[in-house]
């Protein structure tokens, strides 16, 4: 039934695409793909935003806002635009049917989260010259990210003789570069390493912004170093991209250490089949699937863990890493997670290899409890201060005021 409905939606969009006389509101079937948010008042401007639409279908206290921070951040961006006297049309940048949307009205602001779809290149001819065009960059330079994942897949194929499919969907280089060229301003979730993946010619128009850690439990200092001393791998989809294969290789051999794996990897059946024989005899590795970081099940896991490992090959800023640091876990991370660790705290991987991860695991296993506790405390404090929702809101406010030349009129 769902497939039939989606086909119907796409058919209607195709119908609209070739007939501009049909109004957009009459074509949209579900608010899942289009949301209009406005405030009453004179002389309000209009913004067209391509981003996630699902956060606007949830109540403000929905527990799903405790998960990946992008949901809350998307709502906050729209709130900040409302405060700056914009009424906002939000279209899903994940829904292919939105390619049929034709701009018949005037917009003062075009704001796009650059994801698997690139909208600015499509709609640029229909925008007025005075329309501000902002691109929100959520990851490393997409061609860099795509190549980084392919390198990881090829390395896995050499070791295991099997090639898993590519998980990350990315726009091609030509469309990406054209989008960056057409944008008046860009705002990038990342640090200097993330920025360095973008071509030098575009960096001057890119402002860096923080990202907020997901709401989660927060361990007390006396819980930082449990006697169980277990490890955690916590991530979103894309097991090879996130480096889970490398972590598993280490813990398959290190049966004296326990590893907890939290995330949707358990649903990547081809990846799980690749390791099923090893995992069937590795009682020290346990998979839990996706868990709410503020839920009881996640709390039980992190209470017996003291360290997490994140050897991702490319991110903007990894929300999963920040969330683990916020919880109160010792970080072993790659620099391409986009996370800047406090000075002399945690461990950066020398490279994305089994040997490098094994060396760091051995190093942290031999550290004194006092050193580990002090470094975890510093990391936790750093994230609570620099990667809070309040900090994200302030940073995005500063960027918007710079980009659109306006300041907040209302409060929310």
User: What SS3 class is residue 350?
Assistant: coil
User: What SS3 class is residue 346?
Assistant: coil
| 246/366 same-domain check | yes
Prediction pTM value: 0.85
pLDDT at 288: 95
Expressed as residue numbers, the domain containing 243 is: 221-386
pLDDT at 166: 61
| 205/305 same-domain check | no
If 0-12 CB within 10 Å is exposed, 13-18 middle and 19+ buried, where does residue 243 land?
A: buried
From the centroid of its chain, how far is CA 68?
7
| 54/35 same-domain check | yes
pLDDT at 94: 57
- Write out pLDDT tens, residues 264-323: 988 888 899 899 999 999 999 999 999 999 899 999 999 999 999 999 999 999 999 999
| 380/393 same-domain check | no
More confident residue, 135 or 30: 135
Q: Is 70 exceeded by the pLDDT of residue 31?
A: no
List the end-to-end C-alpha distance of the chain, in Å, as a whole number.
40
| 203/302 same-domain check | no
Within a domain: residue 55?
Answer: yes
pLDDT at 26: 32
- Write out pLDDT tens, residues 320-339: 999 999 999 999 999 999 99
pLDDT at 24: 34
Rounded CA separation 294/138 (Å): 24
Within a domain: residue 412?
Answer: no
Indicate if the alpha-carbon torsion angle 132, 318, 267, 275 is positive or negative. positive
| 250/200 same-domain check | no
More confident residue, 4 or 295: 295
| 193/233 same-domain check | no
In sequence order, what E strands does 193-297 have? 206-209, 230-234, 259-262, 285-289
Residue 327 near residue 179 (C-beta atoms within 8 A) = no
Within a domain: residue 409?
Answer: no
- Write out pLDDT tens, residues 56-87: 777 777 777 767 778 888 889 999 999 999 99
Residue 173 near residue 343 (C-beta atoms within 8 A) = no
From the centroid of its chain, how far is CA 368?
33
pLDDT at 340: 96
| 225/198 same-domain check | no
Taking residues 182-206, report their average pLDDT: 96
Q: Give which of 22, 19, 55 is closest to 37, Cα–Cα.
A: 55
pLDDT at 168: 62
Q: Give which of 346, 343, 351 is closest to 324, Cα–Cα.
A: 346
pLDDT band at 145 (very low <50, low <70, confident <90, very high): very high
235: domain CATH number is 3.40.50.2000
- Write out pLDDT tens, residues 90-139: 887 654 445 556 666 789 999 998 876 778 888 888 898 999 999 999 99
State the Cα torsion 63-298-389-139 to the nearest 10°: -100
178: domain CATH number is 3.40.50
Within a domain: residue 110?
Answer: yes
- Write out pLDDT tens, residues 224-256: 999 999 999 999 889 999 999 999 999 999 999
Count CA atoms closer than 13 A to 135's CA, side-chain side.
Answer: 26
- Write out pLDDT tens, residues 363-407: 999 999 999 999 999 999 999 999 999 999 999 999 999 999 854
Q: How many domains does the chain have?
A: 2
pLDDT band at 161 (very low <50, low <70, confident <90, very high): confident
pLDDT at 364: 97
Please tell me the total number of residues recorded for the chain in this structure. Answer: 412
Q: Give which of 157, 202, 215, 204 is closest to 176, Cα–Cα.
A: 202
Q: Indicate the range of 4-13, 46-55, 156-165, 182-191 predicted with least confidence.
A: 4-13
Q: Give which of 229, 207, 198 is closest to 306, Cα–Cα.
A: 229
Rounded CA separation 180/194 (Å): 15
């Amino acid at each position: 039934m769902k497939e039939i409905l989606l086909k119907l939606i796409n058919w209607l969009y195709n119908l609209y695409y070739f007939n501009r006389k049909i109004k957009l509101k009459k074509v949209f079937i579900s608010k899942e793909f289009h949301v209009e948010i406005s405030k009453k008042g004179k002389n309000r401007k209009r913004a067209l935003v391509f981003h996630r639409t699902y956060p606007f279908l949830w109540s403000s206290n929905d527990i799903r806002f405790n998960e990946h921070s992008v949901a809350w951040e998307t709502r906050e961006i729209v709130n900040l635009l409302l405060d700056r006297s914009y009424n906002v049309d939000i279209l899903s940048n994940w829904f292919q049917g939105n390619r049929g949307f034709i701009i018949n009205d005037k917009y003062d602001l075009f704001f796009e989260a650059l994801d698997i779809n690139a909208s600015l290149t499509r709609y640029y001819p229909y925008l007025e010259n005075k329309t501000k065009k902002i691109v929100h960059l959520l990851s490393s330079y997409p061609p860099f990210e795509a190549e980084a994942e392919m390198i990881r897949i090829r390395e896995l194929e050499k070791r295991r003789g099997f090639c898993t499919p590519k998980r990350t969907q990315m726009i091609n280089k030509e469309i990406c570069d054209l989008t960056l060229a057409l944008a008046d301003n860009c705002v990038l979730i990342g640090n200097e390493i993330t920025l360095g993946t973008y071509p030098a010619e575009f960096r001057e128009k890119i402002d860096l912004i923080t990202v907020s850690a997901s709401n989660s439990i927060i361990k007390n200092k006396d819980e930082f170093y449990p006697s169980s001393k277990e490890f955690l791998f916590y991530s979103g989809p894309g097991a090879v991209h996130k480096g889970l294969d490398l972590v598993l290789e280490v813990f398959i051999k290190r049966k004296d250490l326990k590893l907890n794996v939290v995330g949707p990897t358990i649903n990547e059946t081809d990846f799980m089949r690749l390791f099923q024989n090893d995992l069937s005899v590795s009682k020290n590795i346990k998979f839990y699937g996706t868990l709410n970081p503020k839920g009881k099940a996640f709390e039980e896991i992190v209470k017996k863990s003291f360290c997490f490992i994140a050897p991702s090959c490319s991110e903007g800023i990894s929300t999963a890493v920040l969330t683990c640091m916020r919880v109160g876990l010792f970080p072993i991370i790659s620099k391409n997670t986009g996370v800047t660790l406090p000075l002399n705290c945690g461990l950066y991987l020398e490279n994305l290899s089994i040997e490098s991860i094994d060396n760091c695991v051995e190093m942290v296993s031999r550290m004194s409890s006092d050193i580990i506790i002090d470094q975890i405390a510093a990391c936790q404090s750093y994230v609570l201060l620099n990667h809070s929702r309040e900090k994200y809101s302030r940073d995005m406010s500063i960027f918007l005021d710079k980009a659109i030349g306006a300041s907040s009129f209302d409060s929310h």
